């Protein structure tokens, strides 16, 4: 095939990255004192969109936005266009072009996203990529660029270099052999090889090929990235996962050390302390910073929560308890006002509420919820709420893209309206979801499930429908 890319031969796995959604970018911007464009009618570009695993769910959750994806792989673009058509997403376009040749209007995108590209192209090309982002980004817009980072990637480099010495179909066996030859006395080195091997066994073969066997793969220090971004007229706004770089979560000595340091040195210090291996940097145009008089803040502003929406995965452990259980851990919340707010968020979950809708909304509550958000990761902050149902009702409806994913998801992963990946392992749940077009009732779904050879009754179907509503998979 003419101009065939490695992704034509072996497409990469499809995923939605919640941290790359413009909703997240707008939130981090607001916490950093930057006024980002409104989301409801935003203009969004994804560079390297592949089959649309990240881009198409964004189009679903932002029906009033205009989205464009570009990718040099014809095979992946064709697949993205097919899915977009079947999923009834008229607000998205996917173009077969690389960033080097794309003809897009300067300054025409409020949000520019580039996941998994910067570290996997030649050094001279990545500078051209950043220049293109700076050219296409609107003056007040926000860009997202992810990349593999040093020093964290140092411990994986030996595995990477060894894997490239073996035929691709023998790579995993070869790495396993190497690990077994390493002396137990070299425990740290052996452990690092084991971690890579375990990761590769857990993932799709495409991850091995494109992450470890790629001819171009260049982990970099964040300081080098920011220097190249500055050359392209871009300035650092923050990280799409603020907890990864928050000084509030690091020892006090780290904050003291970086107090007078500029942004790049501060970020490199954080990466050395944490052994960071992957970054999700947010960038804005440097000229807009100068015009607005904006400077990067070392710490986020808790008061900004007052202008955001909040959703919670925390659940009260028992009535009146000050302990709340999350997806990963439990947290004690001594403040009565914060407990009342969390109970209200629990009541409306999976939907969000504007901070001002919470009981006792005041600066003190904003500070308390900021601390819970930063420390636990069990609260989600949003600048925009997609239309989603809190309960299934009699004629539940899921967006067409969700139904399509439910019908064809080989690994049972579905992207919800919050742009989070949800794994639905139970066949009946996926069967029900694939048919929720707003016309079916629970008794009808029972009959259809029985004809398909699934064991079902009305109670089990209603349980499935309630689970789907709680997972933010139903629209209203």
CA distances from 67 to 21, 25, 384 (A): 12, 15, 16
Crossing angle of helices 187-202 and 154-163, rounded to 10° = 70
Show pLDDT as tens, one digit a residue, over the chain (476 residues).
446 666 666 666 779 999 999 999 999 999 999 999 999 999 999 999 999 999 999 999 999 999 999 999 999 999 999 999 999 999 999 999 999 999 999 999 999 999 999 999 999 999 999 999 999 999 999 999 999 999 999 989 999 999 988 887 888 999 999 999 999 999 999 999 999 999 999 888 888 888 888 888 999 999 999 999 999 999 999 999 999 999 999 999 999 999 999 999 999 999 999 999 999 999 999 999 999 999 999 999 999 999 999 999 999 999 999 999 998 888 999 999 999 999 999 999 999 999 999 999 999 999 999 999 999 999 999 999 999 999 999 999 999 999 999 998 666 789 999 999 999 999 999 999 999 999 999 999 999 999 999 999 999 999 999 999 999 999 98
For residues 57 and 465, give the distance between their C-alpha atoms in angstroms, rounded to a whole number.
Answer: 21
**pTM of the entire structure?**
0.93
Q: Where are the alpha helices (DSSP H) in 150-243?
A: 154-163, 171-181, 187-202, 205-207, 222-231
Crossing angle of helices 400-408 and 74-86, rounded to 10° = 120
Residue 330 near residue 323, CB atoms below 8 Å:
yes
Pick from 6, 5, 2, 8: nearest CA to 76: 8
Q: Who contacts 462 (Cβ-Cβ below 8 Å, separation ≥6)? A: 392, 442
Pick from 451, 442, 472, 417: nearest CA to 57: 417
Q: Who contacts 124 (Cβ-Cβ below 8 Å, separation ≥6)? A: none
Burial of 33 (0-12, 13-18, 19+ CB in 10 A): middle
Region for residue 221 given its phi and psi (left: phi exceeds 0; alpha: psi -120 to 50; beta: otherwise): beta
Q: What is the 3 state secondary structure string of 107-151?
A: CCEEEEEECCCHHHCCHHHHHHHHHHHHHHEEEEEEEEEEEEECC
For residues 111 and 253, give the distance between their C-alpha atoms in angstroms, rounded to a whole number.
Answer: 35
CA distances from 203 to 17, 26, 206, 211 (A): 16, 31, 8, 11
For residues 188 and 190, give the distance between their C-alpha atoms in angstroms, rounded to a whole number.
Answer: 5
Burial of 226 (0-12, 13-18, 19+ CB in 10 A): buried
- Which residue in the block uniquely carries the two structure tokens 């495409």? 206
Strand order in the sheet with 278-285: 92-96, 66-71, 43-47, 109-114, 137-148, 278-285, 234-239
Residue 140, token pair as written in the block: 């007040």
Q: What is the 3 state secondary structure string of 39-74?
A: CCCCEEEEECCCCCCCHHHHHHHCCCCEEEEEECCH
């Amino acid at each position: 095939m003419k101009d065939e890319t490695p992704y034509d031969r072996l497409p990469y796995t499809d995923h939605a990255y919640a941290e790359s959604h413009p909703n997240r970018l707008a939130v981090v911007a607001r916490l950093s004192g930057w006024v980002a464009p409104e989301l409801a009618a935003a203009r969004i570009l994804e560079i390297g969109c592949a089959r649309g695993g990240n881009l198409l769910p964004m189009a679903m959750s932002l029906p009033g936005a205009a989205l464009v994806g570009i990718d040099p792989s014809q095979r992946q673009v064709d697949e993205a266009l097919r899915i977009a058509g079947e999923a009834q997403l008229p607000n998205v376009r996917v173009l077969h072009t690389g960033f080097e040749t794309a003809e897009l209007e300067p300054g025409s995108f409020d949000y520019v996203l580039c996941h998994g590209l910067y570290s996997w192209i030649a050094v001279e090309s990545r500078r051209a990529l950043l220049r293109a982002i700076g050219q296409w980004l609107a003056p007040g817009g926000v860009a997202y660029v992810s990349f593999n980072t040093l020093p964290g990637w140092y411990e994986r480099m030996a595995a990477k270099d060894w894997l490239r010495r073996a035929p691709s179909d023998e790579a995993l066996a070869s790495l396993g052999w190497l690990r077994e030859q390493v002396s137990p006395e070299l425990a740290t080195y052996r452990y690092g090889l084991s971690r890579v091997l375990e990761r590769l066994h857990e993932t799709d073969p495409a991850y091995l090929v494109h992450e470890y066997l790629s001819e171009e793969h260049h982990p970099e220090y964040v300081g080098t990235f920011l220097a190249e971004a500055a050359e392209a007229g871009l300035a650092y706004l923050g990280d799409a996962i603020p907890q990864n770089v928050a000084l509030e979560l690091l020892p006090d000595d780290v904050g003291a050390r970086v107090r007078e340091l500029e942004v790049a040195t501060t970020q490199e210090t954080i990466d050395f302390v944490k052994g960071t291996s992957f970054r999700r940097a947010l960038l804005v145009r440097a000229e807009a910073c100068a015009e607005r008089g904006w400077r990067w803040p070392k710490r986020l502003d808790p008061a900004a929560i007052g202008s955001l929406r909040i959703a919670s995965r925390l659940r009260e452990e028992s009535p009146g308890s000050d302990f709340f259980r999350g997806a990963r851990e439990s947290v004690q919340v001594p403040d009565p006002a914060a407990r009342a707010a969390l109970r209200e968020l629990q009541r409306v979950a999976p939907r969000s509420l504007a901070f001002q809708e919470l009981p006792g909304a005041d600066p003190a509550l904003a500070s308390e919820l900021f601390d819970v958000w930063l420390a636990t990761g069990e609260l989600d902050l949003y600048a925009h709420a997609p239309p989603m149902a809190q309960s299934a009702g009699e004629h539940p409806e899921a967006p067409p893209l969700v139904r399509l994913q439910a019908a064809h998801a080989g690994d049972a992963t579905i992207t919800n309206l919050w742009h989070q990946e949800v794994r639905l392992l139970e066949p009946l749940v996926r069967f029900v979801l694939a048919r929720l077009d707003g016309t079916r009732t629970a008794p009808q779904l029972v009959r259809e499930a029985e004809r398909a050879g699934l064991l079902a009754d009305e109670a089990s179907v209603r349980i499935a429908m309630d689970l789907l509503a709680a997972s933010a998979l139903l629209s209203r």
